Amino acid sequence: MDKVSASAASAVADIPDGASLAVGGFGLSGVPDTLIGALHAQGAERLRVVSNNCGTDGHGLGVLLESGRIARVTGSYVGENKEFARQYLAGELEVELVPQGTLAERLRAGGVGIPAFFTPAGVGTQVADGGLPWRHHPDGTVRTASPAKEIRTFHGSDYVLEEAVTTDFALVRAWRGDRHGNLVFRQAAANFNPLAAMAGRVTVAEVEELCEPGEIDANTVHVPGVFVQRVVALTPAQAAARTIEKRTVRA
């Protein structure tokens, strides 16, 4: 039952080339930076990432992106990252853009065993009708476009069929976690980390505070240990590290 790994490096050592990853974080909040850094050092390539966003230049998933380790991204927000835009427009990166709420539900559905669901989000747009550029040719023309999706009418309104997401691995960051893998998240970090944790077949969680079993009130657990296979305890310095996406100060 003790799921604590000796180090971040050992926790991600078996992630192979071409693996799919669900990665938690919302902007730069709750990003599993230590695990991402360990994966970067490990050297896996051609990764297929599912995450709300792909970090910023030099931070979060941007570290893997800049080194050419990511082949495909499924996400909902791709701003704040010039290298992401360059790779996408140059045809080096495949990108599937998904409405944010739909992405959240696709991850959640994958975690609870629901293969697909109907949603009104995207009906009447290229999200449903197809044609969103997934990959470009180097000259900027579209190489691969999104396919059309099934539309069905319920109670007089149209809905689009969206498939659930499950991934080979998931990397998440939690505020507190115990040796059995029960996790608690704080504030903005709770937006996508719990969903990513549920969607991974092998979920690795870095935790700011490692607790003994029973120390976390069961009523406060956001993700139960059944979804988590490995836990990495952060050092105080790693736990305290924060990256500010846009620093704003008074004049």
- Give 110-165 pLDDT, tens digit per residue: 999 999 999 999 999 999 999 999 999 999 899 999 999 999 999 999 999 999 99
Most distant pair of Cα atoms in the chain: their distance: 58
Q: pLDDT tens across 51-108, in order?
A: 999 988 888 999 999 999 999 999 999 877 899 999 999 999 999 999 999 999 999 9
- Do 92 and 212 sit in the same domain of this protein? yes
What torsion, rounded to 10 degrees, do the Cα atoms 197, 2, 14, 63 define?
50
**Whether the predicted model's global pTM rises above the 0.85 cut:** yes
**Domain of residue 214, CATH code:** 3.40.1080.10
Residues 95, 208: one domain?
Answer: yes
Question: Residue-wise over 202-231: b if at least 16 C-beta within 10 A, else e?
Answer: bbbbbbbbbbeeeebeeeebbbebebbbbb
Question: Are residue 104 and residue 210 in the same domain, yes or no?
Answer: yes
Provide the pLDDT for residue 79.
77
- Tell me the helix, strand and coil percentages in the chain, rounded to 5: 25, 30, 40
Q: Are strands 157-163 and 151-154 parallel, antiparallel or unpaired?
A: antiparallel
93 plus 142 within the same structural domain: no
Q: Are 28 and 141 members of one domain?
A: no
- DSSP letter, residue 13: T
Tell me the average pLDDT across 220-234: 97
Answer yes or no: is 2 within a domain.
no
Neighbours of 108 (CB within 10 A): 18
Number of domains in the chain: 2
Which range of residues forms the domain containing residue 45? 8-115+164-240
Shared-domain flag, residues 208 and 218 = yes
Position 251 in a domain: no
In a domain, 250, yes or no: no
Same domain, 159 and 176: no
Q: Which tens digit of pLDDT belongs to each residue from 1-22?
A: 899 999 999 999 999 999 999 9
Residues 6+ apart with CB under 8 A from 249: none
3 within a domain of the structure (yes/no): no
Mean pLDDT of 186-205: 95
What's the token pair of residue 229?
A: 């296979």
Position 95 in a domain: yes
Statement to judge: residues 96 and 188 lie in one domain: yes
Nearest-10 Cα torsion for 210, 214, 220, 224: 80
At 235 the pLDDT is 86
Report the distance separating Cα 106 and Cα 120, nearest Å: 14
Q: Are 118 and 160 in contact (CB under 8 A)?
A: yes
Task: Give me 49's structure tokens.
Answer: 């990432």
Is residue 58 domain-shared with residue 147, that is, in the same domain?
Answer: no
